[in-house]
Structures are given as structure tokens and as C-alpha cells.
Amino acid sequence: MDKRKYLVIVDPSHEESLALERMLEIVRQERKWDLEFHLLIGFESPDKTEPNAPTETVRSFKELEALLVPLDELNVDYTAEFFWTRDWRKSITDAAERYGCDTIMLAESSAEHKTGITDSKWDLVRQATCDVVIVDEGTKAPIDCILAAVNTQATDAVHVALNERIIERGLFLSDYFGAEFHVVNAYKGSEDFPDRALIGRMSGLPRENIHRDMGKPEDVIAGIAEKIDADMVILGISTRKGLAATFSSHTTEKVMEKITIDVVALS
């Protein structure tokens, strides 16, 4: 993980850009990794015949240029483009592919005016071929605590590899931000009890940083995140097709609805 390239979505219809703020927080960290950023500045252009279509957003060139001033002051390696689109999700995933980005970063409130934005946002998480970071207002700098959610009861190759990626990313981000790292594994009943020793071997974490609670995954993950005062949660989206992928992304969606902190969704 020597280099990361981010696609950062900036919606100029908002007074503040949480994704851009998180990007600056990442840049300000002392680091040994190379980072590149591509800014996608714009929003979806709705059908004006719809009664709930938003009013026009007016921004001067100076206002748009002012967005980029902090990046220039920090000598950030970035490119930028403006976009107006009728297909928010496809424009973002196309741009990520076009620029070879391995991470999409956007605010939880991005394009919130869009009719059916909830479905569109989950479509982005489900269909993106790279990681998606959804920045939420509950996370404030500095990032001091990161929680990763795994499912060690699933022993098929797909889930084993996904668990490894989740823990690897958690270790990387906790090292990057100098944050405390925790892992959580939910289970349904005593016959489904997760192996704490396995998680310990995978992560190198002490027992007190490994959490196992019984209940629905979304409730357990949200509860532990609140208990340890996490600033970020790392979740996995199964790369399987069909029903397995649908159930996996549905759980991720429920978790994201229960917390108001940054979420990193890995596929």
C-alpha cells in the first residue's frame, strides 16, 4: 500500500465540503506513502419538470477557486474537473476508472437533494470497483479510534480474503493517523461464536481491542463504535454476485444508517 489515488467528490451547492476537509486532514499527516487526488466538482442536474427539483446553485469563479487554495498551500498533488450530470453514480464510477483511482471519497450528504439519493448512494457503494469512503459530520479531526468489522464465521475464500483486507486496511489507517485500532465480530448465537484467537492472530491486537457481541451485525457494530468512541468504521462488501452480495450490502447500508462517523466500504 505504497500509493493511494483518491477521487474526491465536491458538491459546490453545500457551504462546506466534508470530503475536501477529510482530504486535507489526510494530507496534513506525516506520512511515508505517496498520495494523489482528483477532485470531481459538481452535482447532478435534475429534471427541471420535477416539482421537487432544487433551485439553481450559483457560485462565482472566485468561490470555486477558493476551494482549492488550501490544497495549493499544502502543495497537494491533485487534478480537478467540473461536472454536471443526470447520472450521479455512473459519472463518479466512470471518473474513478478513468483516473485509475483506488478510493472514492464523498460526503454522506452528497447530492442529498436528489430524488431517491439513498438508493443512488447505495448503488455507488455496491457497484464501485474500488473502495468508497463516506465522510460524515460526526467525525472530527484528529482521527483517534478506528473500528473494523469482520465476519470470521464465514470460512469461504471470498470472505476470508475480505476479512484480511479489512484488517489490513484498519492497521494501515491506524498507523497512518496514529489511531487506536479495534475489531468487532457479531454473532447470532452460541453455535456461531467467533474465534477471538483467530482475530488476534490476524490483527496482532490485544484481547481488550477485540469485541464479540451477540445480535444483528448493524446493532453490534454501531453499539461498539459508540462504546469505544470510534471516529471511523471499516466495513466489507462481498464481491459475490446475486443474493449473497445483496445481503452483504444491505447490512452495510443498515450500519451506515445507524452511525454518524466516517465509513470505509471495501469490496
Give, for 4, the enclosing helix (H) or strand (E).
strand 3-10
Tell me whether domains 3-135 and 145-266 share a fold.
yes
Sequence letter at residue 103: T
Q: Check residue 113 and give its pLDDT.
A: 40
pLDDT tens per residue, range 89-119: 888 999 999 999 999 999 877 644 444 445 5
pLDDT tens per residue, range 21-57: 899 888 888 666 788 899 998 876 655 555 555 555 5
CA nearest to 53, candidates 113, 10, 118: 113
Confidence of residue 140 (pLDDT cuts 50, 70, 90): confident
Pairwise CA distance, residues 179 & 192, whole Å: 30
Confidence of residue 159 (pLDDT cuts 50, 70, 90): confident
Per DSSP bridges, beta strands 145-149 and 131-135 are unpaired
**233, 255 Cβ separation under 8 angstroms:** yes
| CATH of region 3-135 | 3.40.50.620
Ranges of each domain in the chain = 3-135, 145-266
pLDDT > 70? residue 191:
yes
The mean pLDDT of 157-168, rounded to a whole number, is: 92
**263, 185 Cβ separation under 8 angstroms:** no
Report the predicted TM-score, pTM, of the whole model to 2 decimal places: 0.84
Q: Check residue 200 and give its pLDDT.
A: 96
Pairwise CA distance, residues 111 & 149, whole Å: 27
Pairwise CA distance, residues 124 & 133, whole Å: 11
**238, 245 Cβ separation under 8 angstroms:** yes
Q: In residues, how long is the chain?
A: 267
Per DSSP bridges, beta strands 262-266 and 131-135 are antiparallel
Q: Check residue 240 and give its pLDDT.
A: 47
- Which CATH topology does 145-266 take? Rossmann fold (3.40.50)
Confidence of residue 183 (pLDDT cuts 50, 70, 90): very high
* 113 grid coordinates: 437533494
